[in-house]
Amino acid sequence: MSEERSLNFLEQIIEEDIANGVNGGRVHTRFPPEPNGYLHIGHAKSICLNFGLAQKYNGLTNLRFDDTNPVKEDVEYVESIMEDVKWMGFQWNEVLFASDYFDQLYIYAETLIQKGLAYVDESTPEQIATFKGTPTTVGKPTPARSRSVEENLQLFREMKDGKHPDGAMVLRAKVDLASPNMLLRDPIMYRIKHAHHHRTGDKWCIYPMYDFAHGQSDSIEKITHSVCTLEFIPHRPLYDWFIKELDIFPSHQYEFARLNLSYTVMSKRKLLQLVQEGTVTGWDDPRMPTISGFRRKGYTAASIREFCERIGIAKRDNLIDLSLLEFCIREELNKTANRVMAVLDPIKLVITNYEAGKTEILNGENNPEDPNGGSREIPFSNTLYIEREDFMENPPKKFFRLGVGLSVRLKHAYIVKCESFEKDENGNVTTIYCSYIPESKSGSDTSGINVKGTIHWVSAAHAETAEVRLYDRLFKVENPAAEEGDFKDFINPDSLHIVEKAYIEPALAKAQLGDRFQFLRKGYFAVDPDSKPGALVFNRTVTLKDTWAKESKH
């Protein structure tokens, strides 16, 4: 009686292939990033898909870097990508590089020249574009198209041997200048770049285009199901053409819709711009939609995998609600994160009928959702900090917090009733005076009094301090990419709020990097790597759902 999730269209294809004995029932996928930036949550979708399909069907997944453009690529990115894939919880079969195949690809290129299916063209980019025609008018051959095999071979070897400067000429496939598919109008296979490659060094001064590398790389690795995003659909006929003319292993490409997430951007170019211009502190800034950003913010790999599972796989363009991702991390952290008390915007509360100087050690349950979560000691005294927003001079009707005459429970402690308050010369409330009910102690309450609200607090004399970073969405609009004009015009100016001195309960001072907590009533928080001994920094991973905040806006 298991509840079976229905198959997505790729799983259906694979199950049919297995049933029909295609590739002997073998399933081999690959995740093929270009090392020109950090991985983002959209890549996480692709990682979960590619590795997930192989896992489900007892197959393998290669991690292959499509490193065909040395001027944009860097080992820093290679390393971050490997770290992120590992962190996501997946194991690759092999780490491979398209640059491993440069020799083979070169041979493929000569093979096509020999077959009269490729030619060297010294036309300028503008000339090539013009001769290609437009989607509604056919292209015309450039003079180079009729060059002899021998001459093409000689020129291509000269290109390889560095006899020509960058941009002097390219190698083009001779496919079909009249094709309605613009990518088939004699696409470029090789270009000259006298550039240092992060892996092959200075061995090459010609580099294959992505379109001449990707399909063959899949083929060389005997990839059975080459899964990529929708924008590569029109490239598929070209990959199939190369595979057919080269007579090599026929990998098949399938396309799914990439992830778009509301209130952020997913283009590597734009993310790079945010990093380079200092709009964010780096690729792993917790406001970034990168895997490393989410990790630093406190997201778990499991929650991201759960998110990728829930959004599904299909072929239609989509814009996923950020709230779904937030739901996934809350769902996990609600079960696993210990509750602690931290006051981010303090106001002093003095209990007038509690003995000054006395310290009482209270017991606090760590996690009501986890029976084995244990408890901790919390010191209590007559002078506390509470959250400024938990007091109002003129409270509205359903305000279940403090105001003169109102009572609340102090979490894990006593019920207090507000009697008066003090303001400074600017009219800011500075101190609240309360009386407590001695019989109302948590766990042994005999007072018989019921209060509607419970608030968090820390004892002023025992509190430690920490920096707390509060994040909000990076963009003000739901879909920045769809807006007219510069995407940076839609950046949320309040995406980061730093609380330099938050008061935390003493038990929290022992927090380590990697720890996650629920700050009671405030949200889930994770220790940031900027933390130093005695100077903890917490990132807010996500707020708690807050129906009061929503209601009080009306």
Partner RNA sequence: UGCCCAAUAGUAUAAUGGUAGUACAGCAGAUUUUGGUUCUGCUUGUCUUGGUUCGAAUCCAGGUUGGGCAACCA
46 is in an annotated binding site: yes
407 marked as binding residue: no
Q: Find, among 79, 170, 78, the residue nearest to 119 by Cα.
A: 170
Q: Answer for the pair 320, 310: CB distance below 8 angstroms, yes or no.
A: no
Instruction: Give catalytic residue positions.
Output: 34, 258, 268
Any binding-site annotation on 143? no
290's tokens? 């990168």
Question: Cβ 292 to RNA, closest distance in Å?
Answer: 19
Tokens of 394: 């003129």
CB of 297 to RNA, least distance (A): 18
Q: What's phi and psi for 214, nearest 5 deg?
A: -65, -55
Shortest separation between residue 109's beta carbon and RNA, angstroms: 14
268 labelled binding-site residue:
yes
CA distances from residue 146 to 4, 120, 152, 342 in whole angstroms, order as listed: 59, 10, 10, 76
Four-residue CA torsion sign, 217, 219, 225, 226? positive
Could you give the 3-state DSSP secondary structure of residue 481?
Answer: helix
- Give DSSP secondary structure letters for 1-15: ---PPPPPHHHHHHH
The structure tokens listed for 95 are 């780490």
Nearer to RNA, 197 or 469 (CB): 197
- 82 known member of a binding site: no
Name the minimum Å distance from CB 389 to RNA: 9
**Closest distance of CB 358 from RNA, Å:** 19
208's enclosing H/E stretch is: strand 206-208
154 vs 160: CA distance, rounded Å:
10
Structure tokens at 93: 């079969």
Residue with tokens 């079969």: 93
Q: Give the Cα separation of 191 and 169 in Å (integer).
A: 7
Cβ(459)–Cβ(383) under 8 Å? yes
Indicate the residue among 352 and 363 with the shorter CB distance to RNA. Answer: 363
Does 42 appear as a known binding residue? yes
Annotated binding site: 34-36, 40-46, 66, 210, 229, 258-259, 266-268
Annotated binding site for L-glutamine: 66, 210
Annotated binding site for ATP: 34-36, 40-46, 229, 258-259, 266-268
